[in-house]
């Protein structure tokens, strides 16, 4: 693939912030150790432990988005499927 065909996501990544849907989060904890910026922590939601992202710390790298088995995390402006597609394209 030519460089000019790589999606433009890297141009905007610093402006993106990931968000977790607490109704989809299962509380599995997979995402917490994956964040290099310690942006993910716990909070109580409807009596259950759920992950939460601090928007002040999140760099929008997308690692947690791709790793969440419940597809509970999205980068603002991008769906999980779009992020996974972008990551796959960037690895070629
Ligand atoms: S990986 Fe997904 S389901 Fe697991 S704690 Fe994180 S947001 Fe919740
Ligand atoms: S998008 Fe990256 S920086 Fe933001 S919470 Fe997820 S892993 Fe951490």
Q: What are the pLDDT digits (tens) for 48-57? A: 999 999 999 9
Whether residue 51 has its Cβ less than 6 Å from ligand 1: yes
Which atom, in ligand 2's list, is nearest to the CA of 38?
8
Please give the distance, rounded to the nearest whole angstrom, from the Cα atom of residue 92 to the centre of ligand 1: 27
What CATH code is assigned to 3-90?
3.30.70.20
Please provide the size of the chain in residues.
92
**Integer Cα distance of 92 and 79 in angstroms:** 21
pLDDT digits (tens, 9 = 90+) for 28-79: 999 999 999 999 999 999 999 999 999 999 999 999 999 999 999 999 867 7
Whether residue 28 has its Cβ less than 6 Å from ligand 1: yes
Q: What are phi and psi of 71, to 5 degrees?
A: 50, 45
Domain ranges in the chain?
3-90
């Amino acid at each position: 693939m030519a460089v000019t065909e790589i999606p433009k996501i890297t141009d905007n990544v610093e402006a993106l912030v990931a968000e977790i849907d607490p109704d989809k989060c299962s509380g599995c904890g997979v995402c917490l150790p994956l964040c290099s910026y310690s942006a993910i922590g716990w909070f109580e939601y409807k009596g259950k432990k759920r992950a939460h992202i601090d928007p002040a710390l999140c760099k929008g790298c997308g690692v947690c988005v791709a790793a969440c088995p419940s597809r509970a995390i999205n980068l603002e402006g991008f769906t999980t499927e779009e992020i996974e597609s972008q990551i796959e394209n960037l690895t070629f």
